Structure 1
Amino acid sequence: MLLLLTCMLAGSPAVAGTQSPQQPLTQAEILERIDRSASRIESLQCEFTQTKELSLLQERMISHGVMYYRQQGGLLRWEYLAPYRYTFILNGDRVMVQSGGRTDVVETSGNRMFREIARMMMNSLTGRCLTTASDFEVQVTVQSDCWVAELIPRRREMEQFFARVRLHFDPERQLVTRVEMIERNGDSTVIDLKNMQLNTTIDEKVFAVD
């Protein structure tokens, strides 16, 4: 389960407002804006670059791929294109993994851990996880060009995988542009999202689970 997750894969002052005189946004206001933006996401597709750092080996692994998400039906396709081919598809209660010419299908309905991981992936991409108090303790800070939400897991299922998760948001679009996952052993995974297309039509075949 950890291998699958690591393969993959919004109380401090905030950003200035748009009116004069400029007023800083509170954490609650930032979270409200992110939640409002997340509620408008019907579909999302983008390219991504993932950087995996192994603390013990002092090794860096970089991969590239594409992601497709559709809110209706809980659909997600996470596909690595280089330097290897690997595809993860979440379609409702079913997950399909394709790697090395092999295809495996798993029913998430009977696996609580898998359901939690799938839910976290979907919610992190949209920012919906920030308003679920039972999942994470959330702290928002502001950098020069983004909002950063640091999430400390509260659920035992997530605690055993991650020490913390950081989500970087574009303040103008309130969309996630970077996901950082820091594991308890010191390893980290950073996913940068780019060329995002919001609420476009995505072919049903993209999410097909055979």
Structure 2
Amino acid sequence: MRNILFLIFFFSFALSLHSQESILDGAEVAKFKEKVIAEAKKTKTIKADFIQLKHLDFLADDVKTSGKMAYKSPNLVKWEYTNPYKYSVIFKEDQLLINHGGTKSKVDIGSSKLFQKLNELIVNSVRGNMFSDADFEISFFESPQFYKAVFIPKDKKLVEYIASFELFFNKENAQVFEVKMVEPSKDFTQIIFKNRQLNVPIDDSVFSN
């Protein structure tokens, strides 16, 4: 009996949370976009800690990693994983620089339109500015705690890798605090940013492999 009562409470609570999320109308979307774009324009650098959760259906628990992210305008991004292993990925111009525990490699992403699109997606998601209707079908939602933008790629090649891309924004400053990438298999990667710092000095050497 106790288990049944718990399940009733759980599903009632889940439905309550879901019902609090509403779709933004045209005027609300325009106002939200304006706020996000204004914030992105004045953002020159970002430093943040992050937690990454990788959900795979065949695993009982999500795979958890953590590290630090650095962004420098216009298009430099570094993901440095520090736990449970050492691994860094740098998006720099038309190159992807990888350092896996001291083993370094380089990928030319300039020769692939798909990699270029993925690079652009990652850079703009960090900045929070990726509202290109030409590339995505976009839906906007609001809850008492956050705004959410859901992006469904139109590019057929990109759809093979990404079913949807979700950005969660703080309501007070329209900054991204969570990114979720859902794969066609319904597995997903969730990145949650912590200790975000804006417009602090970041030397170019940070983005060297």
Q: Normalising by the residue count of structure 2, what TM-score does the alignment of the two structures yield?
A: 0.84
- How far does the alpha carbon of each residue in 1:73-103 deviate from its partner, in whole angstroms, 9 at most, with x for none? x211111000111100112122210113311
Are the aligned partners of 1:134 and 1:155 in contact in 2 as well (CA < 8 Å)?
no
Which residue of structure 1 lines up, in the alignment, with residue 108 of structure 2? 107
The 2-side partners of 1:138 and 1:13 are apart by 11
- Please, which runs of 5 or more residues in structure 1 have no aligned partner? 1-10, 15-24
The 2-side partners of 1:204 and 1:13 are apart by 39
Within a 5 Å distance, the mapping from 1:15-164 to structure 2 comes to: 26-72=28-74, 74-130=75-131, 132-164=132-164
Structure 2 CA distance for partners of 1:179 and 1:32, relative to 1, 3 Å: same
Aligned Cα RMSD in Å? 1.8
Are the aligned partners of 1:12 and 1:26 in contact in 2 as well (CA < 8 Å)?
no
SS in 1 for 2:34: helix
SS in 2 for 1:109: coil
The one-letter code of the counterpart of 1:78 is W
Deviation at 1:158, TM superposition (A): 2.0
SS in 1 for 2:62: strand
Count of matched residue positions in the alignment of Structure 1 and Structure 2 = 188
Within a 5 Å distance, the mapping from 1:192-207 to structure 2 comes to: 192-207=192-207
Deviation at 1:13, TM superposition (A): 3.4
The one-letter code of the counterpart of 1:13 is L
The 2-side partners of 1:142 and 1:76 are apart by 28
The one-letter code of the counterpart of 2:168 is H
Q: Normalising by the residue count of structure 1, what TM-score does the alignment of the two structures yield?
A: 0.84
Moved over 4 A (4+): none
Q: Which has the larger radius of gyration?
A: 2
- Please, which runs of 5 or more residues in structure 2 have no aligned partner? 1-21
The one-letter code of the counterpart of 1:156 is K
The 1-side partners of 2:138 and 2:60 are apart by 29
The 2-side partners of 1:129 and 1:82 are apart by 29
The 2-side partners of 1:158 and 1:133 are apart by 15
SS in 1 for 2:192: strand
